Amino acid sequence: MEAYESVILVKNEVFVFKIPPRTSNRGYRAADWNLQEPQWTGRMRLVSKGDELIMKLEDKTSGELFAKCPIDKYPGVALESVSDSSRYFVVKIQDDNGRSAYIGLGFGDRSDSFDLNVALQDHFKWLKKEQEGEPGDQQQLDLSFKDGETIKINMKITKKDGSEGSRPRRVAGTGGGLLPPPPGGSRLPPPPSPQHAHPPAGTPAVPNTEWGDFNSASASAQLAKPTTPANQQNWVQF
């Protein structure tokens, strides 16, 4: 199966510079380039296809390929950082005939070069993980049952509303009824006030008195107060 092409990073504006040959081992310096006059300006795309990783420099309007740089590892000779700036790199470009050349590549902002560094590091970390973990992954994917193997599953079923598990708990000795209401849930009506109570049948009525005879009438009323039958003395107790 042919691997498909995946775009990892796109930067719409990059600058290409002609660089002088390196004469010593001190590394490349962007200050030695003519940074005010780039040789070319266009778009950069970082593309992966299987295990291959290629940086493509293209015209940002037509998409025409200007140059490409195969990257087999990072850091490496295909893409090197300069010693005096984080925005510039030395790129080894190649054509279809295998000829190569070195050019300078720069970004207008440090965040763009930072994105390039992160994308390259992530790609090669992923590639290394895929290559090292391939045998183990094949063993983990073999989950088929062998001859005679069985599997046992313990399933705990929770009772839903309306089943026996959700019915109200009955109280012993109540004849199968529900739990009694909590104390204070219902109250008996208070007894009538003394002035509106009717005496039992057969009890002589207390004569009505004038306000002037209140003291003597009260004493007479206490003497004539009817006796409550025994079966009604504790009627408010429950």
Q: Enumerate the domain spans of the chain.
A: 5-130
Instruction: Give the lowest-confidence range in 31-40, 42-51, 141-150, 209-218.
Output: 209-218
Give the CA angle between residues 123, 127, 128 to the nearest 5°.
120
Instruction: Give the lowest-confidence range in 10-19, 129-138, 183-192.
Output: 183-192
Assigned fold of 5-130:
PH-domain like (2.30.29)
Token reading at 74? 């990072």
Q: Which amino acid is at 157?
A: I
**DSSP state at residue 73:** S
pLDDT in tens, 30-81: 999 999 999 999 999 999 987 889 999 999 999 999 999 999 888 888 999 9
What is the rounded CA–CA span in Å between residue 118 and residue 132?
21
The neighbour count for residue 27, using CB atoms within 10 Å, is 12
For 4, 7, 50, 158, the CA distances from 1, given in Å and listed in that order, are: 9, 19, 11, 48
What is the rounded CA–CA span in Å between residue 221 and residue 205?
9
Say yes or no to pLDDT of 167 above 60. Answer: no
What is the rounded CA–CA span in Å between residue 117 and residue 19?
21
Say yes or no to pLDDT of 19 above 60. Answer: yes
Q: How confident is the model at residue 136 (pLDDT cuts 50, 70, 90)?
A: very low
The alpha-helical segments, DSSP class H, found in the chain are 110-141, 214-223
Q: Are strands 100-106 and 88-94 parallel, antiparallel or unpaired?
A: antiparallel
Please tell me the pTM assigned to this model.
0.54
The owner of tokens 């790609």 is 123
Residue among 125, 115, 80 nearest 10 (CA): 115
Instruction: Tell me the Ramachandran region of residue 63: left when phi exceeds 0, alpha when psi lies from -120 to 50, beta otherwise.
Output: left
